[in-house]
Amino acid sequence: MTKAMTTAEIKLLAGECGFELAGVARAEPVSERTWYHDWVNAGFAGEMRYLRDRRAQVRDDPRNLLPSARSVICAGKLYNSPWPYSNQFDMRGRVWISRYAWGGDYHEVLRRGLERLDCLLRERAGAGYESKICVDTAPLLERSFARQAGLGWIGKNTCLINQQSGSWFFLGELLTSLDLDPDAPPPDRCGTCSRCIDACPTAAIVPGKLGHTVDSRLCISYFTIELHDAAPEAKRASTGAHIFGCDICQDVCPWNRRAPVTEASEFQPRLFAPPLERLANISEEEFRGMFGGTPLTRPKYSGFLKNVALAMGNCPQESFRPALERLASHQDAAVRAHAEWALALLP
């Protein structure tokens, strides 16, 4: 028999485990599940099969992951750091890496915090307690549950925005058999603001059934992380110096003007804005040594080179020619396509 616990106690424990935001939602389907299927059916997921295969149906109900679940404890971990935003970045010949990937793998950091919270709850709840930890990769509509748990509203850029702290948060969830009083979702405070929409260089933020959404097929993050093929030629010039992800829609958001910064060492940049020429010449072994244990390994070495070649085309310098000529004969078709495109733009 599990012992009763309050939502306030849960939040205090989450804070002890390193989370700046915490709240509780009911473990039941959210209204956004219909929107999600509409989004997938409209093709907005692009080639991300994990968003549209059998796991799409699993996302309908958290009890598909834990049948005994009665509550979803949502936790937010701040990763903003006191370094420039991308709209303040003007370093020719250097690259932009999305802020969330500057440090170590956030999956491990969040999981450690949630495991600690889970242990504390298990000690207090007693027999009958059941739980499941979810970090990013689980088929769960985490932003929707975070909204229900009072952590923030979902902005036009589809990021969860907290009124006091902005949007620079990783999200993690603990599904639990505890029957907790749920928090209430906050009001949407984006109003008529369209800065994220106006600033997106590829026009990826588009109208949707529940307000604005992101068409992944137009998004720089999709081009540089998820898409294995070459980026659409019509969009290549708009991707700028980004080689992994994109922060523009968060960097221009007014709610991030006073966003707090983290002192967590895990999220400090290992290598801020490295030079393109250096990156184009590293071996696969050097790539693993430089970026191992960070999100940058997701597109693998060939995807990394593809992105570097694309950024070189958007910052054409004659000194890039030897590296681009070498990449133009790479075994990967997408790397070759980007390198050939970039070579044609050299002065």
**CATH architecture, domain defined by 275-342:** Alpha Horseshoe (1.25)
Q: pTM for this structure?
A: 0.94
- Please, what sign has the CA dihedral across residues 203, 204, 209, 211? negative
Q: Are 296 and 106 in contact (CB under 8 A)?
A: no
CA angle 197, 316, 229 (to 5 degrees): 60
Would you state the pLDDT for residue 3? 61
Structure tokens at 5: 């616990």
What is the pLDDT, as a whole number, of residue 347?
85
What's the gap between Cα 85 and its chain centre?
A: 16
Q: Which residues are catalytic?
A: 136
For 334, the 3-state DSSP assignment is: helix
Give 282's contacts (C-beta < 8 A, 6+ positions apart). Answer: 290
In sequence order, which ranges of 79-236 are alpha helices (DSSP H)? Answer: 106-125, 142-148, 195-199, 220-221, 233-236
Given this model, what pLDDT does residue 1 score?
Answer: 46
Given the DSSP bridges, would you call strands 96-97 and 242-244 parallel, antiparallel or unpaired?
A: parallel
**Rounded Cα–Cα distance for residues 68 and 115 (Å):** 18
Which residue is it, tokens 């709840």? 125
Residue by residue, pLDDT tens for the chain (347 residues) are: 456 789 999 999 999 999 999 999 999 999 999 999 999 999 999 999 999 888 889 999 999 999 999 999 999 999 999 888 888 877 788 999 999 999 989 999 999 999 999 999 999 998 899 999 999 889 999 999 999 999 999 999 999 999 999 999 999 999 999 999 999 999 999 999 999 999 999 999 999 877 899 999 999 999 999 999 999 999 999 999 999 999 999 999 999 999 999 989 999 888 888 999 999 999 999 999 999 999 999 999 999 999 999 999 999 999 999 999 999 999 999 999 999 999 999 98
Tokens (6 digits) for 291: 């970026």
Q: Looking at the chain, which residues constitute the CATH 1.25.10 domain(s)?
A: 275-342
Which residue bears the tokens 């960070």? 294
Long-range contacts of 84-89 (CB under 8 A, 24+ apart): 85/247, 85/251, 86/242, 86/246, 86/247, 86/248, 86/251, 87/199, 87/248, 87/251, 87/252, 88/251, 89/241, 89/273
